[in-house]
């Protein structure tokens, strides 16, 4: 039996593998990667590597074994048909008879188009017969803290979220929840709505960046159309810009404010405060 993590060298996947190594022997962890060289450090620590690609179904043939627990981290190649990619993994898991497949989905409250692939993947998983866990991850702090350069350059946080609030958390928090599911018992066929303990709005985000930098940073609320234009003007393709604007509209509508407490319960600790994530980003 192995705990198998797809997308293991991605932002979330690395956190999951690192935290798994704190709980189980390295030879019980299999990291699924596209580029073996990017996981050389994990292999050196005794983690098993499997080279596979969501876009090449044959690479998943025989990858899983009966009794494995699998974390399917959703793909980020929106133009390549994510549902079809995820189905490849689910079918391979079903054929192998895995004990559990956990999928990183999106909050049930999220109505933006970004959630469509997640809902479709959930349906594939639920009809597959594979024992499942839906980890409906809310937003990551890092979606914003890793984009501080333009904020500092222009002295403004610009979004189309109005006064909406969101319950984001650090990637490491969501990884801790996944590890709890993969190493614990009694999670079969459960759904968890995951978000940070404290909701915040972009005015608060701007104020915290101001406090930590000593610079005057304000929040400028714009329309979704204006925000799309700003993003395309910065070089983002129009479909991606529209998707991000759609997320802001979802925030304005309260669709990313999660109040279940599932994340901190699974992690066994409070979630990372936004201020801590900003501090880490500014030091980096």
Pairwise CA distance, residues 153 & 147, whole Å: 11
**Mean pLDDT taken over the chain:** 96
**Residues 188-205, mean pLDDT to the nearest whole number:** 98
Same domain for 121 and 227, yes or no, is no
> For the stretch 171-201, what's the b/e string if a residue is b when 16 or more beta carbons lie within 10 angstroms of its beta carbon?
bbbbbbbbbbbbbeeebeeeebbbbbbebbb
Kindly indicate the confidence band of residue 37, based on its pLDDT and cuts at 50, 70 and 90. Answer: very high
Whether residues 58 and 148 share a domain: the answer is: no
CA–CA–CA angle 222, 228, 234 (5° rounding): 105
* Residue 78: pLDDT band with limits 50, 70, 90: low
Asked if 213 and 160 sit in the same domain, the reply is yes
Residue 167 to residue 115: CA distance in whole angstroms = 17
Q: Does residue 80 have a pLDDT over 70?
A: no
Task: Specify the residue for token string 């129009």.
Answer: 238
Residue 114 confidence (pLDDT): 85
Least confident among 28-32, 161-165, 243-247? 243-247
Q: Which of 98, 94, 104, 109 is nearest to 70 (CA)?
A: 98
Rounded to two decimals, the pTM is 0.96
Q: Angle 68-64-56 (CA atoms, 0-180°, nearest 5)?
A: 145
Split into its structural domains, the chain has a count of 2
CATH number, residue 96:
3.40.50.720
Same domain (yes/no): 130, 145: no
CA nearest neighbour of 173 among 19, 2, 39, 8: 19
Hey, what are 130's tokens?
């594979």
209-230 per-position pLDDT tens digit: 999 999 999 999 999 999 999 9
**pLDDT-based confidence at 112, cuts 50/70/90?**
confident
Is the same domain home to 132 and 31?
yes
Which residues, at least 6 apart from 46, have a Cβ–Cβ distance to it below 8 Å?
Answer: 25, 26, 27
Range(s) of the domain holding residue 60: 3-137
CATH number at residue 165: 3.90.25.10
- Alpha-carbon span 76 to 49, nearest angstrom: 21
Burial class (CB within 10 angstroms; exposed 0-12, middle 13-18, buried 19+) of 278: buried
């Amino acid at each position: 039996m192995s705990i198998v993590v797809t997308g293991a060298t991605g932002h979330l996947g690395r956190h999951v593998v690192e935290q798994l190594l704190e709980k189980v022997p390295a030879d019980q962890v299999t990291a699924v990667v596209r580029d073996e060289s990017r996981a050389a450090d994990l292999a050196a620590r005794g983690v098993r590597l499997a080279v596979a690609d969501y876009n090449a179904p044959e690479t998943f043939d025989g990858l899983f074994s009966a009794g494995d627990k699998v974390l399917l981290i959703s793909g980020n190649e929106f133009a390549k048909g994510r549902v079809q990619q995820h189905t490849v993994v689910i079918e391979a898991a079903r054929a192998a008879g895995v004990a559990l497949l956990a999928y990183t989905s999106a909050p049930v409250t999220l109505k933006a188009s970004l959630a469509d692939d997640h809902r479709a993947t959930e349906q594939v998983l639920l009809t597959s017969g594979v024992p499942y866990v839906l980890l409906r991850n809310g937003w990551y702090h890092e979606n914003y803290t890793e984009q501080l350069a333009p904020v500092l350059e222009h002295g403004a946080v610009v979004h189309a979220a109005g006064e909406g609030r969101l319950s984001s958390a650090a990637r490491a928090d969501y990884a801790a929840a996944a590890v709890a599911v993969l190493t614990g018992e009694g999670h079969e066929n459960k759904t968890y709505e995951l978000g940070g303990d404290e909701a915040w709005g972009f005015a608060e985000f701007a104020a915290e960046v101001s406090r930590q930098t000593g610079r005057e940073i304000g929040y400028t609320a714009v329309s979704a159309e204006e925000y799309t234009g700003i993003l395309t003007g910065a070089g983002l393709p129009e479909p991606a810009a529209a998707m991000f604007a759609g997320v802001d509209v979802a925030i304005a509508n309260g669709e990313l404010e999660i109040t279940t407490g599932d994340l901190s319960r699974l992690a066994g600790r409070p979630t990372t405060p936004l201020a801590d994530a900003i501090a880490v980003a500014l030091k980096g």
